[in-house]
Amino acid sequence: MSNYEKLLSVVYEALDVVNQMLPIEKQVSKSEDLEIFGKDAALDSLAQVNLLVAIEEKVGESLGTYVSFADLPGKGQQQRLRVDEVINWLISQT
């Protein structure tokens, strides 16, 4: 399994965690092109934060590596961010 596939699995596990917190009508499908942040974001701000925290925790559990989204370039700016872009950033951090 490639690093990309491992991290995709980790992100999908984190999405499962977040989906369990959401009402059925707010749950999102797992997809590499799912927009996490941006104009067409699938999640509200609380769910976004929960997802980032869940990803950080799942990366730590699965890979034994600490990552922090506080290190993500462009943080605080209104930017578009999809699942595949998160994975590519995680690869650069692990």
Confidence label for 33 from pLDDT (cuts 50, 70 and 90): very high
Cα 69 to Cα 11: distance, rounded to the nearest angstrom: 13
Number of domains into which the chain is organized: 1
Cβ burial, residue 86 (10 Å; 0-12/13-18/19+):
buried
pTM for the full predicted model:
0.89
Q: Which of 76 and 65 is assigned the larger pLDDT? A: 65
| Dihedral (CA of 57, 84, 43, 20) sign | negative
Reply yes or no on whether the pLDDT at 40 is more than 60. Answer: yes
Q: Is residue 77's pLDDT more than 80?
A: no
Please give the residue range of the domain that contains residue 70: 3-93
Given this model, what pLDDT does residue 78 score? 58
Comparing 16 with 76, which gets the higher pLDDT? Answer: 16
